[in-house]
Every structure is written in structure tokens, then in C-alpha cells.
Amino acid sequence: MSNITNEGLILACSAIGTGLAMIAGLGPGIGQGIAAGHAAGAVGRNPGAKGQVTSTMLVGQAVAETTGLYSLVIALILMFGNPFISAFKKL
């Protein structure tokens, strides 16, 4: 344990945080699949409402996708930006 530098510890924690942030990408994928399935079922029951159901589903999926995109941005910042290393060097 004494061979670990402070910078190495920060990089390791950033890698773990990146993995945890990418787990957040599972939620939107599952939610969008469920929404598409329910929309397909709704169109199957009432084909006349296809346009309204499709537009509502797409808006809902776009809102759900922002969570996945935010987690991707956080993961990229942690992996390549290493904001904690520069903050640590200032101490």
C-alpha cells in the first residue's frame, strides 16, 4: 500500500467513478425500450392515434436520453479531464 502515490490514487478513483457514471446509461436504455414497447401496443390497439402516440413517445425518449448523455459527459471528464489532479497539485 505504501507504493501508491496520491496521483495514482486519484486516477484509480477517477476510473472507478467513470465506471459508476456509465452504469447510469442503463436506465435510459431500459426506459426507452419500455416506452417504445408500450407505444407499439397503444398503436396496435388504436391505429388512428399513431401520430400523437409516436410524437409523445419521442419527446419522452429525448428527455430520458439526457440522463445517459449527462453520465457520458461526467465519465469523459473523469477519465480524460482529471479535474482532481489539478486541484490536488494546487494544495
Which CATH number does the domain housing residue 76 bear? 1.20.20.10
Residue 23 lies in a domain: yes
- State the pLDDT at residue 1: 57
Residue 57 lies in a domain: yes
Number of domains in the chain: 1
Cα–Cα distance, 33 to 21 (Å, whole number): 20
Number of neighbours of residue 28 by Cβ within 10 angstroms: 19
Q: Consecutive 10-residue runs of the chain (91 residues): their mean pLDDT?
A: 77 87 85 89 91 90 87 86 70 58
Residue 89 lies in a domain: no
**Residue 51 lies in domain:** 6-83
CA geometry: angle at 54 spanning 52 and 55, to 5°? 65
Q: How far is CA 74 from CA 8, 20, 42, in A?
A: 20, 10, 36
Half-sphere exposure of 41 (CA within 13 A, CB side): 6
Residue 65 lies in a domain: yes
Residue where the block lists cell 467513478: 17
Residue 71 lies in a domain: yes
Residue 88 lies in a domain: no
